[in-house]
Structure 1
Amino acid sequence: MSSAPLPPLPPVPGVTDDELQPAGRSMIEVLEEDHDRLVRLCSRAATEPAASDVLVATLARHLAAEQQYLYPAVRSVLPEGPAIAERELAANADLLVALRRSHSTTDGAALQSITERIRQHTHRAATEVFPALRGRFSNGELVRLGNRVEIARSAAPTRPHPGTPSTPPLDKIVDPALGVVDKVMDVLSCRTTWEEDL
């Protein structure tokens, strides 16, 4: 098994990292749940205008978390990982550009385009990326990555910011800073960004 691109846990005498089972959900579970939520929000956005803001925020948070933790993990353990990561980061950058354009319009065709891109993104992850990662990391490593993904999502921007750094370490600095600005703008504009608040 390969080692996750994470700092080592603090040493515990007589216990190895493999013997520790951190609490939380695996990165794959967290991202699969996001994918389900994104597909659901695409359907809701077609009939509920308020769901459009939530879709944008959810997708922005999701892509930021993936670029910070999923793609570095893919690069580190899969033989074809660097090529997969570059392909997915390029697709995500195109998706952010399209999302930024579509967010300023009420055009139904723009939403259809975003929906199709999201479906392609979730399909590639479910059929290529996630199966390849299973078995490459221990359950404990996947949970540690899952915990970091959840933290990254909570600090991530809620609006598309194409052109920002998409690889560590700069993305881990820029995304939370943009997230603060976005969250202030969300509060000032009374923008809904969570599906639970619809």
Structure 2
Amino acid sequence: MHPPDDLVSVLIQDHRDLQQLHFELGYTIEFPRLRHSLVELLIAEVVRHEVAEETYVFPVVRARLPHGPALVDEDVAGHREIWQVLNSLDEPDLTSEEFASRLSRLKATTAPHTRAEEEELYPALTEHLDEDERVALGRAALRAKEKAALRRYLAEPDCSLRNRVCSSPTTLAERVRTYLRADAYRL
């Protein structure tokens, strides 16, 4: 069992939070406006999680784990697969049936990726990093997550994220990634 501020615990909690959003989306299939809002939130949260992995996990995996670069490449390939499906959920004018089908595909794509991280990558991190290192990285990730607390920001009337997201012609994922990299995760 990892302490709650251990990097592995932080990332596993992200997985549970993303699974919860996915579950909630299942109840919005017949409500297009609500599901659109939740899809936007899911996209933003996936980007936030992915940036946390890129910032705090991948450099350590590359440097400290046997075959680290190959493990990172495999994880990044999994992220690309997830993005293909996730972006298809954000298409306008999806019927309820189309949305339900794509939501099922998202679950089928994310489940093996999450399982691989939790059963292979995270245990390898535990094996090759001592608890103090994992806690230091976990605390850094938690501080960054707090700066990027998207649910709180999106609820504020003068939400800079919402204003920046709405004013850009790029995809939602690209806009959120740019926002997080600039404001929350100092690289």
CA distance in 1 between partners of 2:135 and 2:51 (Å):
18
Question: 1:160-171 residue pairs with structure 2 within 5 A?
Answer: 160-161=173-174
* Residue number in structure 2 paired with 1:54: 41
CA distance in 2 between partners of 1:67 and 1:118 (Å):
17
Aligned pair 1:143/2:135, yes or no?
A: yes
User: What is the root-mean-square deviation in Å for CA atoms of aligned residues?
Assistant: 2.9
Q: What is the TM-score with the length of structure 2 in the denominator?
A: 0.68
CA distance in 2 between partners of 1:134 and 1:98 (Å):
30
Question: 1:34-73 residue pairs with structure 2 within 5 A?
Answer: 34-48=14-28, 49=35, 50-73=37-60
* Residue number in structure 2 paired with 1:11: none
Secondary structure of 1:108 counterpart: helix
Query: Does the 8 Å contact 1:25/1:146 carry over to 2?
Result: yes
Query: Does the 8 Å contact 1:68/1:152 carry over to 2?
Result: no
For 1:82, give the aligned amino acid. Answer: P
Q: Which runs of 5+ in 1 are unaligned?
A: 1-22, 165-172, 180-198
Secondary structure of 1:161 counterpart: helix
For 2:88, give the aligned amino acid. Answer: R
Post-superposition CA distance 1:131-186 (Å, at most 9, x none): 11113112111011112222343449884229x8xxxxxxxx8742387xxxxxxx
For 2:135, give the aligned amino acid. Answer: V
Q: Which runs of 5+ in 2 are unaligned?
A: 29-34, 151-160, 166-171
Secondary structure of 2:75 counterpart: helix
Q: What is the TM-score with the length of structure 1 in the denominator?
A: 0.64
The alpha-carbon deviation at position 33 of structure 1 amounts to 0.5
Evaluate the alpha carbon distance shift between residue 120 and residue 24 of structure 1 in structure 2; reply closer, same or farther with a 3 A threshold: closer
Secondary structure of 1:93 counterpart: helix
Q: How many aligned residue pairs are there?
A: 149
Post-superposition CA distance 1:1-53 (Å, at most 9, x none): xxxxxxxxxxxxxxxxxxxxxx9701100001011111122111111324333
